[in-house]
A and B are shown apart, each in its own frame.
Chain A
Amino acid sequence: MSVDPNVMSWYEASARQRIDALTDPHSFVEFIGPEQREVSPHLPIFDLPEQFDDGMVVGRANIGGASIFIAAQEGRFMGGAFGEVHGAKLVGLLRAAKAMKRDVLVLFDTGGVRLQEANAGELAISEIIRAIVAARTEGVRVVGLIGGRSGCYGGGGLIAGSCSTLVVSEHGRISVSGPEVIETNKGVEEFDSADKALVWRTMGGKNRYLIGGADLFADDSVAAFRTAATAALARTPRLDLDTMEAEQVRLQRRLDRFGNATDAVDIWTTLGFADAAAVPGLSTDEFLQMAYGHREAADDAR
Chain B
Amino acid sequence: MLNRLGKKIIIDKFFFIMKYIIMSTWCLLIFICIGWIFLASLSTTSDIFDGKLLNSGVNFKNYYKAFVNNRVGIYFLNSIIYSSVSVIGLVLLCSPAAYAIARIDFKLNDILKRIFVLAMGVPGIMIVIPLFGIAATLKLINNRFILILVYIAMHIPFTIFFLISFFKNIPHTFEEAATIDGCSPFRAFWNIMFPLASPGIVTVSIFNFISIWNEYFTALIFASKTNLRPLSIGLFSMIQSMKYTNDFSGMFATVIIVLLPTIFIYIILSKKIISNITAGGINE
Q: Is B a genuine binding partner of A?
A: no
Q: Identify the A interface with B (CB < 8 A).
A: none
